[in-house]
Every structure is written in structure tokens, then in C-alpha cells.
Structure 1
Amino acid sequence: MYDYLIVGAGLYGSVFAHEMTNAGKKCLVIDKRGHIGGNIHTSETEGINVHEYGAHIFHTDNKAVWDYMNRFAEFNRFTNEPIAIFKDEVYNLPFNMNTFHQMWGIRTPEEAKRIIKEQVEAEGIIEPKNLEEQALSLVGRDIYEKLIKGYTEKQWGKKATELPAFIIRRIPVRFIYSNNYFNDRYQGIPVGGYTRIAEKLLEGTEVILNADFFKDRGRYSSMAKKIVFTGMIDEYFDYVHGELEYRSLRFEHEILDTDNYQGSAVVNYTEFEIPYTRIIEHKHFEFGTQPKTVITREYPEKWERGIEPYYPVNDTRNGEIYEKYRQMAETENGVIFAGRLGEYRYYDMHHIVQRALEMAALERESQALI
């Protein structure tokens, strides 16, 4: 008998298992994949640490979370400075003075603000009814058409006019010459890849891979006093209120006989006609000098049962369905629903670490009171 069965060996499950194992609890971690680390899993190809499930750049303003992660890896000084390609034009991201100079040939913040203001006013949108109108009311026609529209429609699999306005609550526009994508104080990539972090987190914890919770649910559920479930909450409840909507991703990896393919770790392709949203060149995450390179094309896909869900579609319809599952989860004794899929909410890595640490603290506290 285990104290905790943790379904999912991703970042949340690994952090929670580490904390509870250190607290003297007996944990079993299972994962249906053949590796630990979940979506942060990295593997080595041609001496390069490949982010198997898309670019993962750790960033946070939370010093406690940053210090915690640095217990398990040394982080380098990588700064996320992606670029965007629209047809034959190249733009810096996030939207900053370099972007505006590339787009309009201007040099000063005053000029950029004037152009954006004129374009926003020309649209005449008072109450945005969809994502397209929301974006136009924030940054105007040029930025929207070249850098937002096609990318967003590929990402969500819907026309921008069919997406709710609240998906883009704000668009970061910076009137400085800085290509640093994140505003967070701490940022970097773990030297040697993320899988090493998962390995260290799970030291001393029993792990079973290629183990599907739902294929032997009764036996797994009977093995522990409590379950931490990081899978899809609607699947856990047998879809009784219907399917929640997710977006999936497909990754196409390629080894190239060149030492530098695109000169940047992340390049976004913003025109709709190109089916992938971005190309990742992994060696640049760790400033690699290997003779070859590995790139990954990232294709957004519609989620269907049987393929991997990557992020929730948090619109009004799905919010109403999730609320029914959330209420069921509250009455499901002995089960903690966690992570992007268990809570049906988009989290970055630092959020996941914080949530797992907070939940582990609550568990230790509640048991201390018994």
C-alpha cells in the first residue's frame, strides 16, 4: 500500500513525488509514456539536447521557485529572443521598437505610438466581438495581419473571427529596443536538459512507465490511500458531461548536416499558408557548437481521443463543461486533480512547480493535524 499514487511523471507529478517522498511518504508514480518528464522530456541527438515536445524555456519572477529548480540543475543564461517570418519579411519578437522599425522604418517610440493609435482609431471598434476585433483594437491592422492573424488561426484551428475576444486580453507592446520575450527576472535552460531534473526529482520514488491508469484503473486505485491525477479530468469521469476541447501538437524532428540552420532557437511562421507555427533549433538553447543540428517543426492539430492533449481551449462553452467536472472533483474523496489537464487551465512550468509545492505543503500540513 502506497500513501500516494501519482498519475503522470511530468513536472507536477515529479515535484509532488519528491516533496512527499522526502516527507517520509511512500509514493508510486506511473506514466503511460515510456519516459519520465512528461512534456519537458529532453533526449540527446548528435550531442544536442532535443526538447521532444516543443520549446521549454524556464522563466519566473518567483525567487523561491527559481531557487528550487536550481537545486536540481545548473541553468544557463539563455534569453528567449524569437523572431517571426511573414512571407519574406523578418521581425523581432515580442512587439518592440525593433519590430516597429522593421515594419514601418521608424526610429522613435513617439512615431510607433502614433502609427498604432491611428490604425486603432481607423478600425472604429468600440466593443470587440471576437479575437480579430480585439487584436485590431489593441495594435491596429499591420501588426495584426502580419504577426497575429495567421499564427493564431493555425494555433487554434479556427478563424480569428470565430474565436472569443477574451483569448487576447492584452498584447504586450514595448516601446523599447529589447527582444527579450519574457519580463521575468529569472530565465534560462537547464544545462544537460530537463530530463536530468526529472531524474533527480524522482530519486527514491518508485516509477512505472508504459502504465496506462485507465487500462487497470481498479488495481491502481486500490494501491494507494490517495491519488494525484494529472491527466484529463473529463476522461477520469468517463466524459459524463461531454468532452472538453483541447489542442494537440505534432512534432517533426530532423537532423541536418549543417552547424547552424536558422540562427535562432525559435522562429515563428506567422502566415497561415505555412502549416507549422514554428521551427525550433535546439542547439541554440545551450549555445551548441556541434557540427550538425536538429530542428523541430511544430504543427498544431485538432485533438481527438487517443492522441496527446497539450493545452485546454478555455472558451465559454468549455468553461461551463469544466465547472461540472470541477464540482464532481470536489466530491471525489482521496483524489487531487492537478496540472494543465487535471485543472483544465494553461500553466507555464513555473506555475506548475509552484502549484505542486503548494499542494505538497497542504498535504503535509493536513496530515500533521491528524
Structure 2
Amino acid sequence: MEKLYDYVIIGSGLFGSVFAHEMTKRGKKCLVIEKRSHAYGNLFCEKIENINVHKYGAHIFHTSDESIWSYVNQFVKFNNFVNSPLINYQNELYNLPFNMNTFYKLWGTVSPQDAKAVIADQIANLNFTKATNLEEQAQLLVGTDIYNMFIKGYTEKQWGKRPSLLPASIIKRIPVRFTYNNNYFDDHYQGIPIGGYNALMEKFLNGIDLRLNCDYFSDRTYFESLGKKLVFTGKIDQFFNYKFGVLEYRSLRFENKILPIENFQGNAVVNYTDANIPFTRIYEHKHFEFGSQPSTVITKEYPISSSTDREPYYPINDSLNMTIFNQYKEVSKDFPNVIFGGRLAEYKYYDMHQVIGSALTKMKHELKLAYV
């Protein structure tokens, strides 16, 4: 029987949408299947009080890859938003990334040399020189004050485990600057799509067949029968019916509130690092797009444990989970008609530009194979 589509793409998030767009542009017929009632995956924005609310957590586009920046800018223009989050610790505000503003507030240090000396002195007083876990790694990087105030409690909430039980690799580096630069990212390019992320995602999926409220796992045989190849962007362990075990993630719960005031916190993102405060961050969405609406919308973000029926967000890439994932990766090689891509299918914490890069790479690889 003739297949209706060249590619059936499971998931309308960033990977699936970019892949579908590029293949359609090259004459391939694509169908995108989405289990939610809306498209665009976790980038979906809900309009509340005329504010683009990031429904699945704050997303800030940043990259140093000029080709990726040029790529997204051909679809929409980006504003000049710069991510400069704040830390709220015991009702005191500090700058993040840790910089000279942070050090001055902590220790009264004015010169970079003085701040470096304080951190070096704290590191010298540790009773270890090599990190075996996240707690030790963080202290070796920034000393004990910053660790105890800004990292320990936040990490416990984010990962649901004591930092001493987490691998050092999770915190390979901490943004520390001995300047007064409050820009969290080091990347050359940064911003939010003008009009919100829906404006960008709509361009990717324009003219492509899209079916919402369709769960691929409800009838795999049917959906696979529609296309010559399958592009899968969901959880790779679920694809293989968890035969090697369940991969762990951290999930999130979001609590939105509309406030009848123009400005709640004066900043897009404020992190709460006290262990006894259950949420990790508050977003005020209008500040991502420099809004002047008379009311505002805030979101509290609560990390929670994941399960097979909760939305996965952060892969827990420790040795146990990577051993399980590598078994799935190996067996996926036996499925030449399935392309696995995206954060869930590749079990990798991707930033947005990395997801786009992965989709473009796999698209080019696929076309090269098709014409051999």
C-alpha cells in the first residue's frame, strides 16, 4: 500500500517542527502528530492578560553559533532581552551570575583581587582537594559562602537529593565573573522572538499536516503505517516499552497567578535558594518582552519527582541512567526507519539552539542517505 507521507513525526516541539519544516521545504511530505491539545511542545505560550505566558517554564534563546542565530532570524525577529536573574535568599537580593555586585553585597569587597582572595581562602580551608560529588565540586569552584547560601538549597529542591549524593559532573562550571556584568549567558546572541515563541513555531509548521490530541502510543501500528519513516521525539524508554528500565527525569509543576498590578518583581526571573521555600523560581512573563500591560502574570516553578505519567523536563544523567540509556541507544540501531531526536529521545539536556542544531544535522544526514 502506498504510504501517504514520507515522514510521520511524533511531537510538535522544536526538533520535530524544524525537521518537518526542512523536509517539507525539500519536497518531502510530512505529518506531525501531537498528543497535546496545542502544538509547539514546551515552547507553547498562552496569552493571558495580553501577555505571552511561557506555559512550560521560561525559555530564553541564546547561542554563540552565528549560523543558528541567522537560521531562526529568517523566520522572526528577536528582541534584545538579556537574562539577568536575581537570587532571593532570606529576603535579600543578590545578582546571578555571581559577580562583583554579588561579592560586594556578601563581603564588601570592591576589587576583583579582594573577591578572589575571599574565595581562595575559603577553598584553602576545605579538607579535600578533589571533588567526588556535586557538593565538593561546587565548594572547590566558589567556596563555602556562595555554596551554602545560593547552591545547596536550590540544588536540593531542583534534584530532590542532597548535593553530596549527586555526581560532580552536574555542576562542571558555575558562572562566576569578577566584573559587574549581570548577563547570565556568555553567548554572543540572545533574545526572545518578537510576538512570543508561538510566532516562531507557527512559521516552522506552516503548511504542514498537523494532528492534535493524537497519542502515538494509543495506536502505533496505525500511525507508523502512514509514513515511510518515523521521527520520534518522545521518551526513548517508552518507545521500547521500558524493556531496559525507566529513565529518570525531574519534572516541574507551575503555579500561575494574575496580579492586578503593573509590576510585581521588576525582573523576569528571580531564583529562591532557601531550602525551606518549596519553589525554585518566580517568572514575571511580561518582562521577557518589555511589556507595559496594566496587570501582570507570575509563575512559581516547583520541581517534583518524575513518573511515567508526568511531563519529563530534566534528564538525570548519572551513571545508572546513562547505562540504561546506552542500552536503548544501541537497540535503536536496529530501527533504520526511525529517527530519534530531541531532549527526550536523545536523553540529553539540550538548550534550544542545540535542539535546532541536532534537527538540522539529522535532516542533512537523512537526505545524504536518501540520495546515495
Counterpart pick for 1:269 among 269, 272, 292 = 272
The amino acid across from 1:2 in the alignment is Y
Shift of 1:126: 1.7
Q: 1:22 matched to which residue of 2?
A: 25
- Secondary structure, counterpart of 1:342 in structure 2: coil
Q: Which runs of 4+ in 1 moved over 3 A?
A: none
Counterpart pick for 1:363 among 361, 366, 372 = 366
Q: Counterparts of 1:355 and 1:113 in 2: how far apart (Å)? A: 38
Shift of 1:270: 0.4
Conservation of the 8 A alpha-carbon contact between 1:14 and 1:201 = yes
Q: 2:176 matched to which residue of 1?
A: 173
The amino acid across from 1:93 in the alignment is L
Q: Counterparts of 2:74 and 2:141 in 1: how far apart (Å)? A: 41
Shift of 1:357: 1.0
Which consecutive unaligned segments of at least 5 residues does structure 2 have?
A: none
Which consecutive unaligned segments of at least 5 residues does structure 1 have?
A: none
- Secondary structure, counterpart of 1:247 in structure 2: strand
Alignment of 1:35-114 (within 5 A): 35-114=38-117
Counterpart pick for 2:191 among 172, 188, 191 = 188
Q: Counterparts of 1:214 and 1:259 in 2: how far apart (Å)? A: 44
Counterpart pick for 2:253 among 239, 250, 254 = 250
**After superposition, what is the alpha-carbon deviation per residue over 1:208-229, rounded to whole angstroms, capped at 9, x for unaligned?**
0111000011101111111110
Residue 297 of structure 2 is aligned to residue 297 of structure 1: no
Shift of 1:61: 0.5
TM-score, with structure 2 as normaliser: 0.98
Conservation of the 8 A alpha-carbon contact between 1:279 and 1:298 = yes
Q: 1:201 matched to which residue of 2?
A: 204
The amino acid across from 1:142 in the alignment is D
Q: 1:156 matched to which residue of 2?
A: 159
Q: Counterparts of 2:195 and 2:14 in 1: how far apart (Å)? A: 16
Conservation of the 8 A alpha-carbon contact between 1:252 and 1:296 = yes
Q: 1:287 matched to which residue of 2?
A: 290
**After superposition, what is the alpha-carbon deviation per residue over 1:158-198, rounded to whole angstroms, capped at 9, x for unaligned?**
11111111111122211111000001000000111101111
Conservation of the 8 A alpha-carbon contact between 1:130 and 1:165 = yes
TM-score, with structure 1 as normaliser: 0.98
Residue 39 of structure 2 is aligned to residue 11 of structure 1: no
Conservation of the 8 A alpha-carbon contact between 1:43 and 1:193 = no
Alignment of 1:128-143 (within 5 A): 128-143=131-146
Q: 2:217 matched to which residue of 1?
A: 214
Conservation of the 8 A alpha-carbon contact between 1:246 and 1:309 = yes
Q: Counterparts of 1:162 and 1:12 in 2: how far apart (Å)? A: 33
- Secondary structure, counterpart of 1:340 in structure 2: coil
The amino acid across from 1:350 in the alignment is H
The range that moved more, 358-367 or 111-120, is: 358-367
- Secondary structure, counterpart of 1:331 in structure 2: coil
Shift of 1:88: 2.0
**After superposition, what is the alpha-carbon deviation per residue over 1:256-295, rounded to whole angstroms, capped at 9, x for unaligned?**
0000000000000001111010000000001100000000
Q: Counterparts of 1:136 and 1:358 in 2: how far apart (Å)? A: 38
How many pairs are equivalent?
369
The amino acid across from 1:166 in the alignment is S
Shift of 1:124: 2.6
Q: 2:344 matched to which residue of 1?
A: 341
- Secondary structure, counterpart of 2:196 in structure 1: coil
Shift of 1:21: 0.4
Conservation of the 8 A alpha-carbon contact between 1:260 and 1:293 = yes
- Secondary structure, counterpart of 1:180 in structure 2: coil
- Secondary structure, counterpart of 1:204 in structure 2: coil
Conservation of the 8 A alpha-carbon contact between 1:252 and 1:297 = yes
Q: Counterparts of 1:31 and 1:337 in 2: how far apart (Å)? A: 16
Conservation of the 8 A alpha-carbon contact between 1:84 and 1:92 = yes
Q: 2:262 matched to which residue of 1?
A: 259
